[in-house]
Structure 1
Amino acid sequence: MTEEVANIETDNPNKKKGRKKRKNFLSNAKKYGKKDQFGRGTKMTEELYQYFVGILDAMKKGIEEEDERQALVNNVLERTKGEELNIAGNQLGCRVIELLLPLSSAEDLERYMEVLAPELRRLCADNFTSHVVETLLRVSCERATEHLQETEVKEEPEQEPPKKKKKKDKESKSKYTEEHIKNCYEFTLKVCKYALNNLEDFVWDTYANHILRSALKCLSGITLLPGEKPKVNMFIITKTPNKGIAPHEKLQYKIVPQEFKDLVVEFANRLSSWPQFNDLPYKNVTSALLQVLLFAVKNTDKALTKNIVQKLLNESFAPDNWNNAEGNDDKKEEKVDLDAEGEDGAGVPLQKTELPPVFSCEPSVRCLEAAIFVAKKKTYTQIYAKCFINRLAQLAAMPLLNYTVQRLFDNCQVKEELEPMFEELSDRYPALLASGNSGVLVAMAKACHRLQTKQAHFLNNLEAALCCSSPEHQKYFPVLLLRLLPLPRVSVDQLDQEYFIHVHGSVILQTVLDFQRPAKAVTGLLELTPDQLMVIFCDAKGCHVADAFFKGRFVGVKARDKMVWKLKGYYQKLALSQYGSRAFEQVFASCTVEQRVKIMTEMADKSNLLNASMYGRLLADKLQLKLFQSNEENWKAALCKDCREAKDTGKKKHK
């Protein structure tokens, strides 16, 4: 295990990994078609192959009209009649069918169900058809449970549902007939039960394993896992981009029938009773299945979730005899200088200790993160005690394992639990900055804000790491934090010039401005010159600092007024910038009517410059600059009207 951990640790964290060039599936399909290679998998005629290439090309270009899009879907799926198995087994045909099934009619979807159902055992292990089976399962589950989601969404906000709305509910459910919903429900159960009956074979198969994961997601109501991005269907045009769920955000489960939840429990009981269950976290395919299982069981049986996590913890992640089981003779304790540059006292020697088996490879580490996510308070404490205690400093400095430390802080729910974790890393801030693992500091800042504890200590430690604790240097705190560089490495004379703002530094500063006592950050920002503030507010990452400053609960009114007056004469420059215009809107929204009039007067003096810029023109239209120039009183009346409407919708506006 020591060698594996060493390999994880010795990778140069500052070395940028070369991003693989993404293959263009469509261009490759055209290229292979010219070579008379009509896709891998089952054979397809040249005419049919070129037809699917044309369809994929049309889908990529996009069809805005919904009727035209639906007509194309119906025509293509009609063309596949009698050849469903052959087309689904071809690389190109599989890709097209996978994209079209979510938009298919009830008849076409049921036809694919009937054709693929008798061949499930062979198809689930096929490298192409398995994708079609997976999509078919997901679509059928969505249609089988869609009416449950509609009912729930409409019943929650409406406390007095009238009879008429019940009729509307029935009309909304009639998108698919009851017979089709029943067929989708039965098909979902059939595929999931079939996967459960063949669990021993499917777990180890690369493609069938994905069928198991999709089955667990469907049965438990999981839409996306934490950190998972949605699968993009280029044929479906979405108005709002779905960016997925961040690794630290909580899951939102869909409503599913009890029969689905019972199947999840069966999956968990069957899998956890295996003799080789303890080895599953250490392989990529099985670890991914375990992660989905943990999230699925969380929504079905909390007691079972606790039992599985404790079983993994005590028998796989950190068994009681793991110290003796490993070859201790080969493990030599060594002192590691976490900051090779050794500046500002960052190179504090750290005693390297042995790590539990769970930290030996990436699959098991990811499984541990899932366990942390689903664990309740007592189980969370056990995980911390057996895997992390007295090892946080070492783990936080590693390129791979620092993400696990971040998940540990993200899911901490008790103040008393956070304090020892916080103290363990209290002297490692310089090392974390030097190693590039500043995400740990972001997680710590958010934990301090969420639990309302250790905020002053966090700020003091951060100031010491940035070498700005002394009174004469405290004014540089915001700039140093945005750059995540200590004072000796920053040229104070060049603060008026553009510089690189670190995304983690910006997030930490925003979080600090939400602390109960953000005086140090507020004072530091107010002591900057307007030119220095322009550098921050006109940056893609720095402009969000304005949001936190003017929306912060504990940022005083006087401090906001000072910032408004400090920017006087620079609002024109803000409005002309892409990101500065965002900051301008936050400043303007927090102003009094008197301040807004003065800002608008400044803007009106050089309105031609605003109209010459795309961002300035949009902002001028939004603020009704032409109305202000023609009649100030009418502009004030329109402004007050907008504020009243915003107040009615719960939005905070000017005084």
Structure 2
Amino acid sequence: MSLHNQPKKKLGYLDDDTLNYYRRVSETLQNGFQDDDEKDLFMNNALEQLSQEALKVSQNQTGSRIAESLIKEAQPRHVCQVFTALGQDWNTATTDRFASHVLQALIHMIPRQWSTSENSADEVFISLYDYVTENLDSLVRDTYSSHILRELLESLGGVSVSELIIHRQVSKHNVKGIELKHQEEKKLEVPNKFKKKFRKLVKQIFKICNYDDDLRDVNYNTVLQTGLLVLHQVEPPLCAKLCNKIIKKGDLLLGDLETENKIKLPELVQDKTGSYLVEQIIAVTSPGELEHIYSSVFKGRLLYFAVDKIANYVLQKLISCISDKTLFTDIFDELSPFMEDMLAFNHLGVITKLAEACLRVGTRQERLIKVLMESFHCAEPADRQVEFVKLLASLTTYDVFFCQDKEKEKESEEKTKPLLTRINLHGSLLIQHLLHFGKPKLVVTSLLQLKPVELKTLSCDQMGSHIVDAYFQSQSVGERHRELMVDKLKGSFFEVACSRNGSRTLEAIWKCIPTKQKCVIAEELSLQEDRLRSDQYGCFIHRNFAISHFKHRRSDWQGLQGASTKKRKIFKDLFDDSDGQASKQGKKNTDSKGNVTETETTSLQLQDHEEVTNTAVDFLLNSMSKKLEESSTKHKKSFDKKQSKRQKEVPNPETRTFKSSCGKHKHKDMKKKKIKEKAE
């Protein structure tokens, strides 16, 4: 075969034997090992082989994935071999599409060995650091090497912040749960020599930054976010200093944009990538500095932020981070007159964040309800106020929902009122927040005015079901109003129980109502027990509510439900005591350190404690109901067995009487016959 006909070997090409070897290594890892000695021997052999061809294997897509899984399972002493092998060509290792992932996994493992006596990889690590600092200008803007740089910052800082980086829409919604996760993680101890290198690297990144363009660059932006997040936990004063530097050089200040009495928004907050960095600055800023940012960047132009399709997310972040009552009052008073304008632009996230902040800070709650009613045109006349929940849930004004045109006014009066059939996500979130307000009387009254069909729709809807949950879980809703809601749902419990979302809602209702109301629900469900048991979702309600016990052993069932209510209260009181101490401690930390995230963490911990309480009680209830079911089944079997035994041993009374009577008559006839014979 001539040379020009031979197939060219692609970058990262591995022959079949090598590829099959690493595939077998991957299978062995997945299957597991009998003991640690066997695993240690296997890892030594596999990593020794990998170190001989590390760069070649890492450039292959399949090989890089297997190498990553090997490194994640390796001990610190195993890392040095592969790390040294990749160090022969840092340029390829940092910029290659697949090899960069392997190097990233190795850097992640380095801090683990700092807590041990094995420091054999320090020299290679310093060699990588020197290469990065020399070529920082090109690496920080590269797609693959920027990830290496971010991992290097995390390792040198001793914290993990990769999941807190805001670079896509999904991360915005999940950032709260991620914050709690990382608050619980322990910081790794970093040697002093590496702390100095971390400071030097961060300062160099901000020094070479071109603030006109790099803040909008996808790769540079995420590196800056990583640096700020690590500094926020390691060295807060330097973090605050660099945040102020970005605000000034990024043209975010009010004075830079006010020309000829016209207010413009900064270009950075209108850019999709640049706005992520501004959000991160708000997230890592202390309450005192946050007030300064508000007065210098946001004050007087909140409406422009609210109606912009990208900048409104920055405003949402600001509202969600505020804990000071005075500052929030200023923001609310500036935005509230333009509530209908924000609805017209369909930027509902800002309104939802305002409702959430009203609940968290504890102010402007009644004012928000009044403004929302005016925005949906149901504040006046007073008879329209009962339709508030219906309009808010569907996010439509009164005129649109009820077709109130001047020409068609007479026709609409003759027709029946339209029913609530569609629930909006943001409408559901708003109603949930309003129900937890201190005085939600108007919202509660409006909910109770819904027809049973609409309440059933609400309970079975993916978004609407959470409204019913909030209604029963809110401490501001009294027992009487909960009973009225249960009465309104009568006749619909079976259909709700057999719905995917409704069954979950019914379980949430069950946890919040007394035994008397539980009997009402169980009575209705027991009428169709067979259909409920055979339904895909209803079977869980049948089991968790112990409907068969209610039907056959009602007194025991009521005793069990009463005991479960007492246990739930005991668990709640225990967690409330611990949560009270935690909330006090959280407030102290906020005042002394000026850290917003600790307050958010405390509120998340309270929610977690409630979930733990419900889970613990549900576990006890399920175990008790299972035991009761087993005992009842056992009792029933023994009873049936005894009954069948009695039927076999004891003859029929009628037959026994007939036999005895026949025997008596026969005995008399024999006596008469003998007497006659003697007489003859």
Normalised-by-shorter TM-score class:
0.7 to 0.9
> 2:298 corresponds to which letter in structure 1?
F
The answer to whether the aligner puts 1:373 opposite 2:283 as a matched pair is yes
- 1:442 maps to 2:357: no
Q: Which residue of the other structure, out of 514, 520, 534, is the alignment partner of 2:442?
A: 520
* Matching residue of 2:96: 126
Q: 2:200 aligns with which of 237, 241, 266?
A: 266
Match of 2:603 in 1: none
- Residue 393 of structure 2 corresponds to which residue in structure 1? 482
Say if 1:573 and 1:129 are closer, same or farther in 2 by CA, change over 3 A.
same
The amino acid of 2:187's aligned partner reads: I
| Residue number in structure 2 paired with 1:221 | 159
What is the alpha-carbon distance in structure 1 between the residues aligned to residue 316 and residue 304 of structure 2? Answer: 13
After the TM superposition, which of the residue ranges 564-573 and 582-591 deviates more from structure 2?
A: 564-573
The structure-2 alpha-carbon separation of the partners of 1:466 and 1:373, relative to structure 1 and needing over 3 Å to count, comes to same
CA spacing shift, 1:373–1:475, aligned 2, 3 Å: same
Residues 622/191 of structure 1: CA separation in 2 closer, same or farther (3 Å cut): farther
Q: Which runs of 5+ in 2 are unaligned?
A: 1-5, 404-415, 573-612, 619-680
The number of aligned residues is 546
Alignment-derived partner of residue 14 in structure 1 = none
Tell me the secondary structure at the aligned position of residue 295 of structure 1: helix
| Residue number in structure 1 paired with 2:343 | 433
How many angstroms does 1:485 deviate by?
1.6
Shift in alpha-carbon separation, 1:542–1:76, aligned structure 2, 3 A: farther
Render the CA deviation track for 1:605-629: whole Å, top value 9, x for unaligned.
1111211212110111112222222
Cα distance in 1, alignment partners of residues 508 and 468 from structure 2:
7
Amino acid at match of 1:306: A
Question: Cα deviations across residues 212-233 of structure 1 (Å, max 9, x unaligned)?
Answer: 1112233241244447699x9x
Q: 1:49 to 1:435 in 2, by over 3 A?
A: farther
What's the CA shift for 1:641?
4.0
Note if 1:502 corresponds to 2:440. Answer: no
Q: Distance in 1 between matches of 2:122 and 2:526?
A: 63
Question: Residue 212 of structure 1 aligns with which residue?
Answer: 149
Residues 269 and 223 of structure 1: CA distance in aligned 2, closer, same or farther (over 3 Å)? closer
> What amino acid sits opposite 2:544 in the alignment?
K
| Mapped partners of 1:403, 1:616: distance in 2 | 41
Q: Identify the match of residue 94 of structure 1 among 59, 64, 83.
A: 64
* CA offset digits 1:251-289 (Å, max 9, x no partner): 525312153655443333333444745753232221221
- Determine which of 553, 577, 583 is the counterpart of 2:505: 583
**Whose Rg is larger?**
2
Distance change >3 Å, CA 42–CA 550, structure 1 → 2? same
Distance 2:528 2:245 in 1: 69
Cα distance in 2, alignment partners of residues 550 and 514 from structure 1: 10
Q: Is the Cα–Cα contact under 8 Å of residues 291 and 327 in structure 2 kept in the other structure? A: yes
Is contact 2:386-2:446 (8 Å) kept?
yes
Q: Distance in 1 between matches of 2:373 and 2:7?
A: 66
Equivalent pair of 1:264/1:296 in contact (CA under 8 Å): no
- 1:229 touches 1:244 (CA, 8 Å); kept in 2? no
User: Aligned partners of 1:419 and 1:248: how far apart in 2?
Assistant: 28
Where do 1:43-442 residues align within 5 Å? 43-49=13-19, 80=50, 82-104=52-74, 108-141=78-111, 143-144=112-113, 178=116, 191=128, 195-196=132-133, 198-218=135-155, 219-226=157-164, 244-246=174-176, 252=183, 254-259=186-191, 262-274=196-208, 276=210, 280-318=214-252, 322-323=256-257, 353-442=263-352
Report the CA distance between 1:77 and its aligned residue: 5.7
Query: 1:509, CA displacement in angstroms?
Result: 1.0
* Inter-CA distance 265–558: structure 2 relative to 1 (3 Å threshold): farther
SS in 1 for 2:336: coil
Report SS of the residue matched to 1:462.
helix
Distance 1:187 1:496, change over 3 A: farther
Deviates more, 1:489-498 or 1:564-573: 489-498
Specify whether residues 262 and 585 from structure 1 end up closer, same or farther in structure 2 by C-alpha distance, changes over 3 A only: farther
- Structure 1 residues 85 and 353: alpha-carbon distance in aligned structure 2, compared to 1, 3 A threshold: same
Deviations 1:191-214 (A, max 9, x none): 557645654443233322211111
- Which protein, 1 or 2, shows the higher relative CO under an 8 Å CA cutoff with sep ≥ 6? 1
CA shift in 2, pair 1:209/1:227, >3 Å:
closer
Q: Is the 8 A contact 1:248 1:411 kept in 2?
A: no
1:512 CA drift (Å): 0.9
Q: Given the superposition, is the C-alpha separation of residues 317 and 214 from structure 1 closer, same or farther in structure 2, using an over 3 Å criterion?
A: farther
Q: Could you list the per-position Cα deviations for residues 480-507 of structure 1 after superposition, in whole angstroms to 9, with x for gaps in the alignment?
A: 21221212222485754632x2211111
- Which piece of structure 1 moves more, 379-388 or 293-302? 379-388
Write the distance in 1 (CA, Å) between the matches of 2:339 and 2:122: 53
Of 524, 539, 542, the residue aligned with 2:464 is 542
**Residues 293 and 458 of structure 1, relative CA distance in 2, 3 Å threshold:** same
- TM-aligned CA distance change 1:603 to 1:644, over 3 Å: same
Q: Is the 8 A contact 2:161 2:230 kept in 1?
A: no
Matched residue SS, 2:383: coil
SS of equivalent to 1:375: coil
Structure 1 residue 82 displacement after superposition: 2.3
RMSD: 3.6
Aligned position for 2:677: none
Counterpart residue identity of residue 235, structure 2: D
Shift of residue 527, structure 1, vs aligned partner: 1.0
Residue identity opposite 2:383 in structure 1: E
**Equivalents in 1 of 2:350, 2:277: separation in Å?**
19
- Select the structure that is richer in helix: 2
Q: TM (normalized to structure 1)?
A: 0.74
Per-residue deviation, residues 546-580 of structure 1 (Å, max 9, x unmatched)? 22111112122221121122222222121111100
Evaluate the alpha carbon distance shift between residue 564 and residue 323 of structure 1 in structure 2; reply closer, same or farther with a 3 A threshold: closer
What CA distance in whole angstroms lies between the structure 2 residues aligned with 1:486 and 1:556? Answer: 29
Question: Secondary structure of the equivalent of 1:603?
Answer: helix
Give 2:372's match in structure 1, choosing from 451, 459, 462.
462
Corresponding residue number in structure 1 for 2:621? none
State the shift of 1:71 in Å: 7.6
Aligned-partner Cα distance in 2 for 1:559–1:201:
65
The whole-number CA distance in structure 1 between the counterparts of 2:33 and 2:312 is 46
Show CA shifts across 1:495-542 (max 9, x none).
54632x221111111111111111121111111111111111101111
Q: Matches of 2:53 and 2:238 in 1, distance apart?
A: 44
Aligned to 1:605: 527
Find the counterpart in structure 2 of residue 614 from structure 1. Answer: 536
Deviates more, 1:313-322 or 1:357-366: 313-322
* Counterpart code for 2:175: I
- CA shift, 1:421, in A, is 1.6
Q: Quick one: which amino acid aligns to residue 229 of structure 2?
A: F
SS state of the match for residue 462, structure 2? coil
Separation in 1, partners of 2:254, 2:486: 60
Deviation at 1:409? 0.7
Matched to 2:421, the amino acid is E
Identify which of 537, 544, 555 aligns with 2:477.
555
Counterpart CA distance in 1 for 2:104 and 2:243 is 28
Give the secondary structure class of the aligned counterpart of 1:614: coil
